[in-house]
Amino acid sequence: MSQPAPLHALPDPTTAELIAARPMLKLHTMDGLLMEGVPLQAVADQLGTPAWVYSAGTIRQRLAALTEALAGLNCHIHYAVKANDHLAILDLMRRGGAGADVVSGGELQRAQAAGIAADHIVFSGVGKTVAELRLALAEDIYQINVESHAELEMLSAVAAAMGRTARVALRINPDVDAGTHAKITTGRADNKFGIPFDEAAALYAHAAALPGVEPVGIALHIGSQILAMAPYRAAYTRAAELIRHLRAQGLEVSRMDCGGGLGIGYGDEAGASPQAFAGVLRNSFAGMGLILMTEPGRWLVGPAGVLLASVVLTKGHDRFIVLDAAMNDLVRPAMYDAYHGIVPLAAGNAVGAPRDVDVVGPVCETGDTFARGRAMPLVAAGGRVAILDAGAYGAVMSSTYNARPLAPIALVDGDRWATIRPRQEVTALWAAETIPDLTA
């Protein structure tokens, strides 16, 4: 097993470095931390904490930058809905020209609810149910990425019974180590994802002979939070080799779905470069006449979100800063030991020079820790902080553990902002529950 790559370069960046590396954040002497033109204190005053805040301008700008880098490659962006599935975010993606990559019937319906057309939707996932396949066929989506022999047979049978034909890409497992955290690597032979590389050619030929399915391409996705280009290069080289082999046998291959995974800088380091990624695509598939697709999630939305929290109290001679946000809101630090920058919302909240502190939540688990031994200024009770880069795999992974309602969400655009989801009422947590007669 390779060691997970460190998520940021040590030592801890300072508050000033974290803010300087994020173009949508500014520290204003009077108003404190601004997202675009909106003081985050004002959002916290109105919504309370914990609260999520997303920057529309950042998402627009990142989608435009990626689109520009991919220009001339005939490469279509299918935003990975799982990263942040709020309708307002999906609407920004649609307006920016992106389609959707979905992994469940629920995500498919969410994407459509935000106005993303079926012919801009790709369905990935290792265990799609018959009901989900039926939905995808009924909606006639652009492509279904098939991940196993069993799924191919299942899809063929369901489609044939419905009198439909599914456009299918076979998701191969290229056996490439993306060098990312073990829990988010997907393209190694021992991961559950995809079809083993050396079985893919035979399965593609088999698919071409089956009713109800039309094989149109190859797909792969090797992992998430990938900062180096070498794993992509290795995976795409194998895919191009497979496509040439299939074509030499007279099989038609018109599409290549290149997956997602582009990483971002969680500290003050740079994220993956869209230009470098485009360069790898250009070199790997030059002259092959393919329709390319990519499925980024984190790169588009991760840097665009923060989680606002208040300090409930400090304890242990100020070693522990206890927040009102917890692992049920943002699980990434507990689940992947992920680093997230934490900055005071106002300069006046920060007390003294940086010192090593543990920033924790109130949930009854030691894993409910946002930062351990982090060099940052102390923030006293009542002060507020922003936990950075929480726009991807943040709110979507929240739970209501410890009967903590889901936090509200605000969207900032320029100097205006709107609440796009109110705080969940605590009574909503048990509103659908019943106590049955049989236990009375």
Interface with ligand LLP (CB under 6 A)? 80, 83, 101, 124, 184, 221, 224-225, 259-262, 295-299, 332, 336, 392-393
Rounded-to-integer distance, Cα 205 and Cα 194, Å: 17
Q: Which is nearer to ligand LLP, 330 or 346 (CB)?
A: 330
Provide the 3-class DSSP secondary structure of residue 346: coil
Q: Is 337 exposed, middle or buried (0-12, 13-18, 19+ CB in 10 A)?
A: middle
364 is catalytic: yes
β-strands 255-257, 291-294: how paired? parallel
Active-site entry in 364, 435, 438, 440: 364
Smaller CB separation from ligand LLP, 339 or 417: 339
> Whole-number minimum distance, CB 241 to ligand LLP, in Å?
21
Cβ closer to ligand LLP: 78 or 384? 78
Cβ at position 299, least distance to ligand LLP in Å: 6
CB of 392 to ligand LLP, least distance (A): 6
Residue with tokens 């709020």: 86
Q: How far is the CB of 271 from ligand LLP (least distance, A)?
A: 11
The three-state secondary structure class of 64 is helix
State in angstroms the smallest separation of the CB of 300 from ligand LLP.
8
Could you give the CA distance from residue 113 to residue 139 in angstroms, rounded to a whole number?
13
Positive or negative: CA dihedral 240, 241, 243, 248: positive
Give whichever of 285 and 393 is closer to ligand LLP, judged by the CB atom. 393
> Whats the size of the chain, residue-wise?
440
114 versus 357: smaller Cβ distance to ligand LLP: 114
- Of 162 and 396, the one with the shorter C-beta distance to ligand LLP is 396
Q: How far is the CB of 257 from ligand LLP (least distance, A)?
A: 9
- List phi, psi (to 5°) of 307: -115, 120
Beta pairing, strands 51-55 & 305-315: antiparallel
Single out the residue of 228, 232, 230 nearest to residue 220, CA to CA.
232
| Closest alpha carbon to 293 in 64, 101, 89, 92 | 101
User: Which residues, in sequence order, are CB contacts of 309 under 8 Å at separation 6+?
Assistant: 49, 50, 323, 324, 325, 384, 385, 386, 387
Catalytic residues: 364
